[in-house]
Chains A and B, each alone.
Chain A
Amino acid sequence: MDLRAHRVEALVLRAIPYGESDAVVHLLVLGHGRIPAFARGARTSRKRFGGALEVFTRIEALLKEGPELWALREATVLEAHARLRDDLHRIAHAGYATELVHELTRAGEPADALFVLLEEFLARLERGPATSARLRALELLALAASGLAPELGACARCGGEVAPGRAAFDPDAGGTVCAKCVVDGALLLTVGSRAALRQLRQLGLAAADAPLSADGSGRPADARAFEAAAAQAAAPLAAFLRHHLGRALGSAGFLDQVGAPQ
């Protein structure tokens, strides 16, 4: 039996109460991927873990490998992302991001790209308002890091050209589809939504916070119009995620109930 100890950096994805005083903590560990770890006394001992096992927290953890669950021996807060807790929409967006990353990772398979992405997302969310553009960027980048990037240029079914502008989007096919391949039930990406998604995928989370004009001039885009376009792309991407994950994310329902930021 291998019982090696590892001092690692990790993001807390969720903590599930176990019994009277313990918890099973799902961590996204740099270099190791998602690891469920048993944290003895997590719910009763303030000295042992303090607030380190709160979701969204980046910690330094001392983990010991076990035959089934790993054991979490120590946890020190590196970044609490405390300002996320000051705003309901930020909490909702952070919850969605965390669940999405949880679902796109498999236990024990390294997922460093997703670790870096989630940490950057939480840091940016802490500094600014919760936006649909940032969520779309996260979805696209997380899917790409998992090898599931949707097609946004060519036809996902036949590989042919999809004319610029608005396009049909078919989650079953894997993204945009041309006029010949479109089937009943396909969703629609508006001109703005398609352009916004392509920019977000190319430029990442930075583009969500400072979008560029679609005319290629390098000038800033109309932030409000870009945000509206990103919001319109929510349904097609949600359908795409449902297709790959096999279910809707629970946190998506919470996002709907909380509504868009005022």
Chain B
Amino acid sequence: MADPIARLTVLLAKLPGVGEKTAQRLAFHILKSPSDYARELAEALLALQKEVRLCSICCNLTAQDPCGLCSDAQRDERLICVVESVPDLLALERTREFRGRYHVLHGALSPLDGVGPDQLKIKELLPRLRGLNELIIATDPTVEGEATALYISRLVKPLGVRVTRIAQGVPTGSDLEYADQVTLARALQGRREL
């Protein structure tokens, strides 16, 4: 059996953004902390693997099915926002602007990598379209995100559902002079009346 400190250091160093030195510092921090903390951390990690699964409705990650967002009666179930990933969902939730439901695709179509519709959670979206007022597509403004948005739009529009795409343009607080031509062109196309 490897030295426990070295073992934990190696495991922590596999986390994104954590180098070997940081991992070692974290390992010593855990070692110095009260023993309850190490036990709780271990239990939390195990629970993560054991309990977290996909919501059977929106494909969000959740420990209870349906997830809290899908079972919240205050949210508008006739409004669905499609996102590529759970972090994207969390980013939208932080705005506190959206009170509808979500659908997580777990990826985006990728023409170059050959990632097609079958590899995303698109077919899980189709049963949710009945009675829907609007489907908002909030995929990334990349080629992959645009391809995904166009594909879903082509699939859903014939069913009579209103499909919208989130606006694209200049980020708040940024300098126009540093914006690239694609972003600026999109911002001009999407201008609004004042």
A94 within 8 A of partner (CB): yes
Q: List the B side residues contacting A14 at CB < 8 Å.
A: 112
Give Cα A86 to B143, complex, Å. 10
Chain B residues with CB under 8 Å of A52's CB are: 180
User: Which residues of A lie under 8 Å from residue B112 when comparing CB positions?
Assistant: 14, 55, 95, 98-99, 250-251
Q: Are A257 and B117 in contact (CB under 8 A)?
A: yes
Kindly supply a per-residue 1/0 record for chain A positions 13-28, scoring 1 wherever the CB is within 8 Å of any chain B CB and 0 otherwise.
0100001100000000
Contact of A91 among B143, B154, B171, B183 (CB under 8 A): B143
> Majority SS of interface residues in chain A?
helix
Whole-angstrom CA separation of A96 from B147 in the bound complex: 14
Q: A20-B16, A56-B143 are in contact. Are A50 and B111 (CB under 8 A)?
A: no
| A80 to B178 Cα, complex, angstroms | 16
A148 to B154 CA separation, bound complex (whole angstroms): 38
Whether A91 contacts B111 in the complex (CB less than 8 A), given A19-B16, A55-B143, comes out as yes
Cα A54 to Cα B180 in complex, Å, equals 11
Q: Which residues of B contact A54 (CB under 8 A)?
A: 142-143, 182
- A residues near B179, Cβ cutoff 8 Å: 46, 50
Residue of B nearest to A80 (CB): B182
Which residues in A have their C-beta under 8 angstroms from that of B150? Answer: 86-88, 91
Asked if A96 and B171 sit within 8 Å, CB to CB, the answer is no
By a CB distance below 8 angstroms, the chain B residues around A55 are 112, 143
Contacts of B118 in A (CB 8 A): 257
Contact residues in B for A56 (Cβ distance below 8 Å)? 143
